Structure 1
Amino acid sequence: MSEIKDVMKAYGLEPLKIEQITDRVYKVSDGSNTYALKESRLTTPAISAWEQVYHHAYAFHLTSILPVYLTSQSGFYTETGSAYYYLTPWVSEDRLTHEQKIINAYETIAAIHAKTSQQTTVDTETIAATFGDYRNNCAQLKPKLLNYVQLFERNHFMSPFELQVCTHYHVLLTVLNEIDYYLDKFIKELEASSNWHNCLCHGHLELSHFLNHGHTYLINWENATFDTPVTDLSHLLRSQTRYYDQSLEQLAELFAAYTELNTLTASQHHLLSIYLLDPFYYISVIEDYLEQPERLSMVKRTQMLESAFRQLTLGLKWNDGKDTYDYEESAEDANS
């Protein structure tokens, strides 16, 4: 722990107790206060963007971004060897229901997105062409999926994985029809307007990055960027589908907590649907099974396939009961 003691000296602190929490996080106490010391994954080119997050936090009064302590030299971090360390308050978490954690997460990131939102113009022709290529690639998956199903059905005894693929087949056809629908709408919207809304995005948003202690704080801003809010939302939602006890209906229903603070435009709504309906990870799991059958256990493969399927199921449920036309009008009115 001598290296950690040296790092803390950069803040003028003498630690009395150091506890390693994870590979990169230490809980440090100096007798008066408790701190969280993080050995970051920051690289030299990324430091400037990470520091900018805290300038934005000050400028936009973003109290949910957990602050970092300044070093004795007024720096946001200290460098030891090839590693960058930064220091924050230690937050002891409240005991909350999973539902309340999701609501807090939606509300917290919505407030950050709303306060930092900026309208800009983009090269819609290039973006539309990129999504047009992606649309063509999605269309080619229907015959590929059918080939997989026919291949597996020829086996006298299908493996659990193969049986899963065959069971999922008709749902995957619906997924491909749905994503084509939203890609069509999104591309047409791009062609009609070059306006685009970017905001401060966390870049690697997961529920574990929200800390609740009377107030909700968001930590680990090392991948921060200015981008469409869909970047954060899709990452958060896809990460939650990995947990089998997470209700997909609940994720969709509780999303109102986000939209009450930051209404998505029609194009953002359609882009989010596209991200959630993206079928290529599901396809890659099947391809890996065929190409490297001995690499993973059958249990692991079925878990991976089911996780990918849950994401696609969320994409389908995301728009259940929504009147798309009414949504578009209300969203565009809110952002006009």
Structure 2
Amino acid sequence: MVTIKNILKAYGVHPYRIEQVSQRLYKVSDGHHVYALKHSRLTENTVAAWEHVYHQAYALQLSTILPVYLTRQSHLYVTAEDSYYYLTPWIPDHQPSYEQVIRDACEAIGEVHARTRRVISIDTASIISHFSDYQRKNAESYHALLKYVDRFERNRYMSPFELQVCTHFHVLVKVFAELDHHIGRFIDELESEHEWYGSLCHGHLALSHFRHHRQTYLLNWEQAAYDHPVVDLSRLLHSLTRHYDQQPTQLSDLFSAYNRYNPLKTSERHLLTIYLLDPSHYIALIDQYITNHNQQTMIKWTQLLEAAFRRIKLGLEWAELAEFTDDSSKSADESET
């Protein structure tokens, strides 16, 4: 049986008080300092990438990445019963306003992306083929949605979930049109580019992984990997829709905060728009409802669908707001008139 005290001994920490904050997090005090001990989800296959984060943070002096303490044997973690534990400073979260929290978060991840940004070789033809396939799948999803709406409207009494889908439909029509437009523009841009950028990405961005105390810290890098930075940014923006609808002016401010540190090219803005507009989760929920609607209560189904719709709506608002130097900010409908 693993004991927290035995793990702390590896760091030379003699705890005065140990408080279990969550299933995997402990707040530890030795009477002089306060620490956070994390029982991580790291595995033998992921621990090397996690260690690389802290080597990068040290080499590039990335103060945004919350540091981890070294053990007395100069290791970044302790292993016990096939689990990985690591120790960090305990950062009290003195949050400013909600708007300031989000701006600080966008600036923080923008700085990490910018300072770890590097050119990577890509197979342009393979990427174009991938997005062309995605474009075709979206067309299939749109036709499936049309059939679902027709099926629901034929019901004499629609369930709340079915009514919700029909109510959302006019917005989804715009989403699919915008998505098709931006995939086409992204492919056009990519055909003339020869460089692709990757950055150190957090992999699980949400406001709960930021701490604000004199500066902004970003913690829990257990899913970190090198990827395109818009993947990280889209996850953060999607996470914001869980509790609040972001107004267009807020979206503009958030992107400006990020862009000050890591300006995105036109192709990258199209790519971000594609990620934000992705309707696959929304369509998958309808598929699941059709297949086994008894899997969840009706209240739960409607909550899940509304959360998926809020994500898509954010993407549509961003598409209408974003500026593209190729003059492609007009919607697909406008370009056809």
Aligned residues of 1:103 and 1:254 also touching (Cα < 8 A): yes
Aligned residues of 2:15 and 2:29 also touching (Cα < 8 A): yes
TM-score, normalised by the number of residues in structure 1: 0.94
The structural deviation recorded for 1:326 is: 6.3
| 1:1-336 superposed matches below 5 A | 3-243=3-243, 245-249=244-248, 250-325=250-325
Aligned residues of 1:94 and 1:212 also touching (Cα < 8 A): yes
The structural deviation recorded for 1:45 is: 1.6
Structure 2: which amino acid aligns with 1:247?
Q
Aligned residues of 1:123 and 1:194 also touching (Cα < 8 A): no
Write the deviation string for residues 109-163 of structure 1: whole angstroms up to 9, x where unpaired.
Answer: 0111111111222011111111111110001122211111110111111111111
- How many residue pairs align between the two structures? 327
TM-score, normalised by the number of residues in structure 2: 0.94
* Partner in structure 2 of residue 332 of structure 1: none
Structure 1: which amino acid aligns with 2:223?
N
Aligned residues of 1:241 and 1:248 also touching (Cα < 8 A): no
* Partner in structure 2 of residue 331 of structure 1: none
Q: Distance in 2 between matches of 1:123 and 1:326?
A: 23
* Partner in structure 1 of residue 333 of structure 2: none
Q: Distance in 1 between matches of 2:30 and 2:94?
A: 23
Write the deviation string for residues 284-336 of structure 1: whole angstroms up to 9, x where unpaired.
Answer: 111111110111011111111111111111111103244423689xxxxxxxx
Q: Distance in 1 between matches of 2:322 and 2:133?
A: 28
327 and 202 in structure 1: CA distance in 2 versus 1, 3 angstrom threshold: farther
The DSSP-based 3-state class of the residue aligned with 1:324 is coil
Aligned residues of 2:245 and 2:310 also touching (Cα < 8 A): no
RMSD of Structure 2 on Structure 1 (CA): 1.5
Structure 2: which amino acid aligns with 1:295?
Q
The structural deviation recorded for 1:47 is: 1.2
The structural deviation recorded for 1:61 is: 1.1
Aligned residues of 1:161 and 1:298 also touching (Cα < 8 A): yes
The structural deviation recorded for 1:254 is: 2.4
Aligned residues of 1:118 and 1:198 also touching (Cα < 8 A): yes
Q: Distance in 1 between matches of 2:102 and 2:159?
A: 36
The structural deviation recorded for 1:248 is: 4.2
The structural deviation recorded for 1:2 is: 6.6
Structure 2: which amino acid aligns with 1:162?
E
- What is the identity percentage for the equivalent residue pairs of Structure 1 and Structure 2? 50
Structure 2: gaps spanning 5 or more residues: 329-337
220 and 321 in structure 1: CA distance in 2 versus 1, 3 angstrom threshold: closer
The structural deviation recorded for 1:219 is: 0.2
Aligned residues of 1:266 and 1:327 also touching (Cα < 8 A): no
Structure 1: gaps spanning 5 or more residues: 329-336
